[in-house]
């Protein structure tokens, strides 16, 4: 991992391999380690750039609200700071996908292709946004265990809980190690993220839309609508996987991504 100063903060980023840059943007409330099976598989072919977003993993933390646009701005500055001027493949999961929409909106000249994994294009309902704000307060008062209790049961397919408890435990430890201020700031940022459905028909880059068949957060039907709305899109459902499809079924996920990237 490298520490990269992007101006007001330092981000930690894994930078491995060479070739087309594959920018892997993690979900909430996780870090770059959720991509370990992709990092191992693709680093022979691509330059893997897997940051910890502001407030997560080992990256610097800011209090208050961190919007999806702020994360996109951070990634833009990260690429500049790493002197990566070649176009990247932007691959984001869930919150990483919310960041991806904003990255596309502001920095699409940097994007060669887009991979939207287990994510959503709609905004929060007022009730969902309110719940996030309440959860942010609870995380600040009681710590990251609140996020473990709220999120962990929703991240995986039932079969993953039974067959791969070590994977669930690894993600639990990541969340428990996350600064409450970072979790709360991202919750507040997600609560105010915009609905981006109008933007989807304007996404001009080749796009792969991937979803775990048992994803309970970004459901298959909703993700199918995202794929249908993006003109140049491919669509893959990952079997035996929930919301964490790249981690739960890496073989199928990696084959699908390799086929999309024509590796």
Residues near ligand MLT (CB under 6 A): 27-28, 94-95, 190, 217, 243
Structural contact between residues 74 and 11, judged by C-beta atoms closer than 8 angstroms: yes
Q: Give least dist CB 217 to ligand MLT, A.
A: 5
Q: Give least dist CB 5 to ligand MLT, A.
A: 26
Structural contact between residues 203 and 133, judged by C-beta atoms closer than 8 angstroms: no
Nearer CB in complex with ligand MLT: 8/137: 137
CA atoms 79, 192, 28, 157: torsion sign: negative
Q: What is the DSSP string of 72-96?
A: HHHHHHHHHHTT--S-EEEEEETHH
Nearer CB in complex with ligand MLT: 95/146: 95
- For residue 169, whether the previous peptide bond is cis, meaning omega lies within 30 degrees of 0, is no
Structural contact between residues 212 and 245, judged by C-beta atoms closer than 8 angstroms: yes
Q: Give least dist CB 18 to ligand MLT, A.
A: 29
CA-wise closest residue to 97 among 114, 116, 79: 116
Nearer CB in complex with ligand MLT: 73/118: 118
Q: Give least dist CB 13 to ligand MLT, A.
A: 19
CA–CA separation, 82 and 251 (whole Å): 30
Nearer CB in complex with ligand MLT: 45/172: 172
Nearer CB in complex with ligand MLT: 129/258: 129
Nearer CB in complex with ligand MLT: 11/135: 135
Structural contact between residues 89 and 63, judged by C-beta atoms closer than 8 angstroms: no
Q: What CA–CA distances, in Å, run from 153 to 71, 164, 217? A: 26, 14, 11
Q: Give least dist CB 71 to ligand MLT, A.
A: 11
Q: Give least dist CB 120 to ligand MLT, A.
A: 7
């Amino acid at each position: 991992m490298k520490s990269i100063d992007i101006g007001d903060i330092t981000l930690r980023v894994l930078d491995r391999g060479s070739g087309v840059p594959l920018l892997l943007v993690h979900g909430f409330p996780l870090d770059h380690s959720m991509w370990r099976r992709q990092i191992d598989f693709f680093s022979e072919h691509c330059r893997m750039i897997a940051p910890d977003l502001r407030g997560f993993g080992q990256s610097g933390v800011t209090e208050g609200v961190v919007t999806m646009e702020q994360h996109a701005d951070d990634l833009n500055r990260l690429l500049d700071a790493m002197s990566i001027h070649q176009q990247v493949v932007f691959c984001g999961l869930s919150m990483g996908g919310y960041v991806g929409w904003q990255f596309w909106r502001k920095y699409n000249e940097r994007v060669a292709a887009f991979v939207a994994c287990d994510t959503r294009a709609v905004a929060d309902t007022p009730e969902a946004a309110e719940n996030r704000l309440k959860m942010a307060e609870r995380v600040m008062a009681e710590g990251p265990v609140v996020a473990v209790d709220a999120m962990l049961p929703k991240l995986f397919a039932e079969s993953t809980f039974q067959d791969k408890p070590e994977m669930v435990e690894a993600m639990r430890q990541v969340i428990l190690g996350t600064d409450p201020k970072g979790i709360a700031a991202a919750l507040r940022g997600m609560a105010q993220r915009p609905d981006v459905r109008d933007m989807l028909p304007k996404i001009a880059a080749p796009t792969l839309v991937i979803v775990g068949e048992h994803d309970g957060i970004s459901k298959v039907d909703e993700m199918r609508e995202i794929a249908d709305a993006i003109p140049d899109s491919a669509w893959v459902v990952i079997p035996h996987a929930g919301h964490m499809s790249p981690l739960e079924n890496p073989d199928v996920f990696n084959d699908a991504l390799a086929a999309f990237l024509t590796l």
